[in-house]
Amino acid sequence: MGPWLARELARVTRATGPRLATLVRPPRPRSRTLRTWQYTAGAATAGLALAAGVVTAAGPWDADGQRTAERDRATALERTGGTDHGSGADSVTADGGPTPAPSAGSVLTGLDGATNTVKSAPAGKSAGISGAALTGVLGPLLDAPALGSTRTAAVVDVASGRRLYGSGADTALTPASTTKIATAVAALSALGPDHRFTTRVALEPGTREVVLVGGGDPTLTARKDAAGWASLRTLATATAKSLTARGIREVTLSYDTTLYSGPDLHPVGVNENLARVSPLTADEGRTDDSVEGPVIRVGDPAADAARKFAGFLTAAGIRTSAPGTSKASSRADTLATVSSPPLSSVVERMLTNSDNDIAEALARQTALASGRPASFAGGAAAIDAQLTKLGLPMTGASFHDGSGLNRDDRLTANLLTALLVKAADADRPGLRAVLTGLPVAGFTGTLTNRYTDGAAGVVRAKTGTLTGVNTLAGTVVDKDGRLLVFAFLTSNTTNPVEAQAALDTAATALAGL
C-alpha cells in the first residue's frame, strides 16, 4: 500500500467510522486475524471511491456490508436527484439539489482499481467477448474433477441480455440455496420492496384475553438490542401501556398462529439449519445468541415467543396466565403492533446469510399475496407462478420450498441468470435488493472466508451446498468494466471444500476476461 493511499484510507475511515471499517470485518464478531489482502482491498476500494467522487462522509458500505449507494441509485431511478454524497461541486445539481446517486459499482474493482471504473457494458461492447474465448477459459475450469459428474453453467452480459456462454444451461439440477434467488425475486414481485411484516397484540372485547398474533415476521427479536429489527420487548411495553390505560393489570394470554397452514416441519426433518416454520417466532427459535448459521432450535417457536412475551409483560407490571393457543376474532381491538424493516432489507439479510428461516417465511408470504395457502406447497406454487408471470424461462424448474433445502427442487443455469438479469433491470428497481443482498467475495456473509486469493470485492454471489451438490450464482465485473451474471450448478461432488474452490476459481476467471 502506497503512503498516499494509506493516508487516504485512514482519512476516510475517520470520516466514516464503523461504516468503512465494516468492509474488512465479517458480519458478526468473531476472532480472526485480518489478512494483508483485506487491508489492501479495503485501501484500493477507498482510494477509488475518493477518486471517482462516489462517496465521502457517507461511505459506500453500511453496517451490514451492503452498498448504500445501490439503494440510493434504485431510488434515483424513480425520481430526479438522489442522495447527497458530499458537498463538492459535482455532488449537486444547478438548483442545489443532490445529483442522482451513481451505481456503487466503482467500489467493486480489483486491487488496481484506482485507475479503473466499473461500468455496465456500452452498447455493442459485449460483442468483444466471444463464446469461443469463454469456452476456452471456463471449459477446462468447469471440467475439474472436484465438480462431480454433472455440471452446468451460463454467463450473460447484463447490458445486452445476451448469453455469452452456456453448457447444459437448460438442464435442471438441484440448486440448493441458490433457490433463495428465486424466492427473493418472487417475494419482491408479489409484495413490493417496501412491504413490512407486522406482529400485533389484540384484546378480545368484553374479556381480559390478550392475543399475540403472529404476522409472519421471521426477523422478530426478543433480544435487548433489536439492532433495527422488530422488537418483542417493545411490543410488550406498548401493550402494557395500553392495558394500563384501560385499567387492566391481569390478563389471560393467548397466541395466534393461524396465518400459516399445513405442516410446519420441513421434509428434511428436525434440522439445525431451520426451525419449525411458524408465523410467530422470536430470533428464529435459536437456543443461543447467534443470528446466523446452524444451531439447535426450540421445539415450538411460537410457544417460546409467547413465553418470552409473557415475561416482558410481567416485567412491565401486567400479570399473565401461562400462554395458550387461540385465534384472534375480527372484533378484537388492537393494543399494539411492531413491524419489520422493509422487505428489501429482509431479502438482503436472507441472501447474505443464506437464511433458511427467512426464505421459508417469504415463500409463505408470497403464497398469501397470491391467494394461496401459506404452506410449503402453497409457497412453492406461488414462487413458480410469480416467476412465470415475469416471463422467466421456467422449463425444467420445480419448487418444493423457498430455501433450497429440499433436494427435489430443480432450477436451470438459464433461469438463475435470467433472475439476476431481471433484478438488474432499471425498469424494476423494486428487485434491486436481490443484487445488493448477494454476499461479497471475501467480505460478507457466506463468502466472507472465500476468494482470499481471488476476486475479492469483485464477485458477488449466492452459494448453495447440500451433500453432493455445490452451486454458485451471482455477478462479476470483468477487467473492461462489463457487468456479467453467471450460474454454475454441479452434482455428485464428493468434497465440498474442493468443489467450492473450483467454483470460485471459475468465477474469478470471469473477472479476468
Count of beta carbons in the 10 Å neighbourhood of residue 19? 20
Q: Cα dihedral angle (303, 229, 108, 125), rounded to 10 degrees?
A: 80
> Residue 462: CB partners within 8 Å, gap ≥ 6?
177, 178, 180, 181, 351, 354, 438, 439, 446, 472, 473, 474
DSSP string, 393-416: --TT-B-S-SSS-STT-BB-HHHH
The H or E element that residue 176 is part of is none
Q: Among the options 160, 177, 340, 344, which is catalytic? A: 177
Q: Among the options 103, 106, 120, 180, which is catalytic? A: 180
- How are beta strands 324-325 and 163-167 bridged, if at all? unpaired
Q: How far, in Å, CA of 375 to CA of 372, rounded?
A: 8
SS3 343: helix
Q: How far, in Å, CA of 270 to CA of 354, rounded?
A: 18
Residue in 391, 315, 444 with CA at minimum distance from that of residue 42: 444
Q: For residue 372, which phi and psi values (nearest 5 degrees)?
A: -110, 165
Distances (CA, A) of 61 to 16, 69, 325, 474, 508: 9, 8, 43, 19, 22
Note the residue count of the chain.
513
Q: Which three cell numbers stand for residue 501?
A: 474452490
Residue in 246, 196, 212, 216 with CA at minimum distance from that of residue 332: 212
Count of beta carbons in the 10 Å neighbourhood of residue 381? 18
Q: How far, in Å, CA of 26 to CA of 65, rounded?
A: 8
Q: Among the options 126, 278, 354, 491, which is catalytic? A: 354
Residue in 91, 26, 96 with CA at minimum distance from that of residue 58: 91
Q: Which three cell numbers stand for residue 41?
A: 482491498
Amino acid (one-letter) located at 183:
T
Reply yes or no on whether 177 is catalytic.
Answer: yes
Q: Helices 301-315 and 232-245: crossing angle, nearest 10°?
A: 50
Q: For residue 415, which phi and psi values (nearest 5 degrees)?
A: -70, -40
The H or E element that residue 143 is part of is none
> Residue 96: CB partners within 8 Å, gap ≥ 6?
none
Q: How far, in Å, CA of 287 to CA of 55, rounded?
A: 40
Helices (H) and strands (E) in the chain, counts: 14, 11
Question: Which residues are the active-site residues?
Answer: 177, 180, 354
